[in-house]
Amino acid sequence: MAETKTLLRALAGETLETPPIWMMRQAGRYLPEYRATRAQAGDFLSLCYNSELAAEVTLQPIRRYGFDAAILFADILLVPQALGADLWFVTGEGPRLSTITTEADFAKIGTRDDIHETLNPIYETVRILRRELPEETTLIGFAGAPWTVATYMIAGRGTPDQGPAHKLMAENEPLFASLIDRLTEATIDYLSAQIEAGAEVVKIFDSWAGSLKGDAFDKYALEPCRVITAALKEKHPGIPVIGFPREAGEKYVGFAKATGVDCVALDSAVDPKWAAEHVQVDGCVQGNLKSSHMVTGGQALIDETRAIVEAFSNGPHIFNLGHGITPDADPENVQLMIDTVRSAKR
């Protein structure tokens, strides 16, 4: 069956007449059925850890739209929680964590061997999905990249410029590097367990990679991705990996070769024609429609969707947004995007 799954074919380097489609945060608050299930769960973390309900919200956009892939419903901050960090969500404001800014703080967190008891419900969600998904639909697992996860652990919340993490890097790089190494090890084991449970592809989300510049990008975005990818491919030969160093700019060039990922996801700031010339030459690319089109719709959505499909038509491409869909999106615009992609024959 794997040979007929369009997403796996694109990840293997095949240029398809119609690119496969999925959408970041495709299971989310823009869907009324998601909101109903979230209310049933009680709160966000309870939804993540309820395997049956997490599987249900993962399946909802597949039933509604027939995407070519489903991505596991979870959160990138479950790994720090599994390592022993306190994690909670403030309504309307987002996640909060206990902070790591000193060696004493770091000494309190666990190791890669400690994560699975907490994360077992996530693996059960993957097993349910592998049973329940249509046979043509690829199942994607994921984790946050070490740098991005570290920014939350150091600041205790999301920040506009990741300033606390940059400050710790500058003032105590040995501690900062130790945290990155700990997260790299845990991420390898977390993604490996997802694969063993049934994930067919895994994606590494480095949402804040763009705030790393020069050598810091190479050391703390590129290198952890390379280590994670190499470890996964050694243990699970043939499992594709998607890397998403969001807002990497020129650093997208050569990222696939340097890390070993099978596909590079692109943010919406990247010009598709430029990316086709400089990034897609190394293999599959994913992206990169602006999320705002899911709110505004109309001819602009159609035109940009067609332009992206055309720009990437000479190589392997997975159609997606350049970032996650927002809660104010109109579900009808998602259908319009899908219809536009699937009618735009190459």
CA atoms within 13 A on the CB side of 312: 37
Contact 288, 337 (CB under 8 A): no
- Long-range CB pairs of 270-276 (<8 Å, 24+ gap) are 270/322, 272/307, 272/308, 272/311, 272/312, 273/311, 275/311, 275/312, 276/311, 276/312, 276/314, 276/315
Domain count, the chain: 1
Active site residue 25: yes
Cα separation of the two ends of the chain: 24
Query: Six-digit token pair at 297?
Result: 């719709």
pLDDT at residue number 33: 98
pLDDT at residue number 91: 83
Catalytic pick from 25, 112, 226, 246? 25
pLDDT at residue number 3: 66
116-132 helix and 51-65 helix, angle to the nearest 10 degrees: 40
Considering only CA atoms, which of 189, 168, 190 is closest in space to residue 179?
168
Active site residue 29: yes
Beta bridge mates, 284: 263
* One pLDDT digit (tens) per residue for the chain, 346 residues: 456 899 999 999 999 999 999 999 999 999 999 999 999 999 999 999 999 999 999 999 999 999 999 999 999 999 999 999 999 999 888 999 999 999 999 999 999 999 999 999 999 999 999 999 999 999 999 999 999 999 999 999 999 999 999 999 999 999 999 999 999 999 999 999 999 999 999 999 999 999 999 999 999 999 999 999 999 999 999 999 999 999 999 999 999 999 999 999 999 999 999 999 999 999 999 999 999 999 999 999 999 999 999 999 999 999 999 999 999 999 999 999 999 999 986 5
Catalytic pick from 29, 96, 127, 157? 29
Catalytic pick from 30, 49, 152, 190? 152
Query: Six-digit token pair at 318?
Result: 């997975």
Alpha helices in 113-158 (DSSP H): 116-132, 146-155
CA dist 85 and 181 (Å) reads: 16
Active site residue 75: yes
Catalytic pick from 75, 96, 105, 218? 75
Question: CATH number of the domain that 194 lies in?
Answer: 3.20.20.210
Q: Supply the DSSP symbol for 16.
A: P
CA dist 60 and 125 (Å) reads: 14
CA dist 228 and 220 (Å) reads: 12
Catalytic pick from 9, 30, 34, 38? 38
CA dist 77 and 121 (Å) reads: 15
Domain around 323 = 2-343
